[in-house]
Amino acid sequence: MIWLFGLALLMLAASAWYLARLPARAAAPVGRERHFQLLALRERLLAQLNELDQDTGDRSLDAAVAADERRRLEAELAHVLHELDAATDAAPKGREGPARRNRLWPPAVLTVVLALLAGGLYTFNSQAPLTYLAPPDEETLMAREGREMVRGLEKRLSREPNDSAGWALLGRSYAVLGRLEEAKSAYARAYQLAPDDRVLLADYAWFLYNQDPTNTEGLVSELYGRLYRLEPRNPHALWFLGLAAYQKGDYRKAIGYWERMLKLVPPQGNTAKELRAAIAKARAMAAGGGTPGR
């Protein structure tokens, strides 16, 4: 089962440049937007891990489902931290000096630790060549384990069709395997069963947004709007609603959402820095009467 998350890392590494980017028509620089979105994803994953701990503690979630979900979240978090570390290394360092470089090692260490915990990628000799771990011309063990896990979950859901947490996990698993239409159907089923589940709303909305980052209307807007109504201080809902307002040219509304989000994040962190940059851009657009780039 643990190999599914190794597969997640490999697949996400190949597709993260598209799935994590903000809409191309936004006016802010692409590199900054991508970094900002990775930071937002990191905060979402940390929040989900915290909520999973609470659900596990009060036994409101099946233990097997909770264990699978923890491994998935930790593996995805490890990947996001690696992406952030790589992006920071690639950024110009002329004006930022050693202080910023000294902040790079904690994410790097955490990335390695989480990868070990989540994927079991070092079960084999750490010096083994990549071609041994994942032969390019044959079905790999991690792919087989992933499909077996999904088949087992499908069978369980055929017996327990009203398990919203199971459907949500199946949707995430399908997404990792690239079975996007099936993922969409599984998420829709989970949403039908638990429309007020805030973790599900955030996950489902994020999945839909990643399928078409240029679209901030329709179902994805409905989901984030519902999440916002259930939890007005949810940073992911505030980020998306601000983005949607920005794309529509309603800069003052975007500023309002993002300023509220700014109060919820560590003031000296990278997320706050990127938010302040986005707010400054929106203010400049509002003052100049500009429209988002297309």
Structure tokens at 173: 């698993």
Task: For residue 85, give every residue at least 6 positions away whose Cβ sits within 8 Å of its Cβ, in sequence order, or none.
Answer: 104, 107, 108, 111
Mean pLDDT of 133-143: 49
Residue in 165, 214, 217 with CA at minimum distance from that of residue 189? 165
Which of the four pLDDT bands, split at 50, 70 and 90, describes residue 256? very high
| pLDDT at residue 127 tops 90 | no
Q: Which residue has the higher pLDDT, 126 or 181?
A: 181
- Give the count of beta carbons closer than 10 Å to the beta carbon of residue 41: 22
Our CA angle for 255, 29, 87, nearest 5°, is 110
Give the whole-angstrom CA distance, residue 11 versus residue 119: 13
Give the whole-angstrom CA distance, residue 111 versus residue 97: 23
Mean pLDDT of 40-44: 71
Domains of the chain: 3-288 (1.25.40.10)
The tens digit of pLDDT for each residue in 56-113 reads 666 656 676 677 677 777 777 777 776 766 665 555 444 444 444 444 444 443 444 3
Our CA angle for 68, 72, 73, nearest 5°, is 120
Structure tokens at 232: 């007005």
Contact (Cβ atoms closer than 8 angstroms) between residue 36 and residue 272: no
Which of the four pLDDT bands, split at 50, 70 and 90, describes residue 292? low
- Name the percent of the chain in helix, strand, coil, to the closest 5: 70, 0, 30
Burial class (CB in 10 A: 0-12, 13-18, 19+), 248: middle
The tens digit of pLDDT for each residue in 106-120 reads 444 344 434 434 444
Residue in 186, 176, 122 with CA at minimum distance from that of residue 147? 176
The pairs formed by 279-288 with CB atoms below 8 angstroms and a separation of 24 or more are 279/255, 281/27, 281/28, 282/246, 282/251, 282/252, 282/254, 282/255, 282/258, 283/251, 283/255, 285/27, 285/246, 285/249, 285/251, 286/251, 286/252, 286/255
Structure tokens at 23: 């809409």
Burial class (CB in 10 A: 0-12, 13-18, 19+), 98: exposed
Residue 160 DSSP label: -
Residue in 66, 82, 89 with CA at minimum distance from that of residue 9? 82
Amino acid at 38: L
Look over the chain and give the mean of its residue pLDDT values, rounded to a whole number. 73
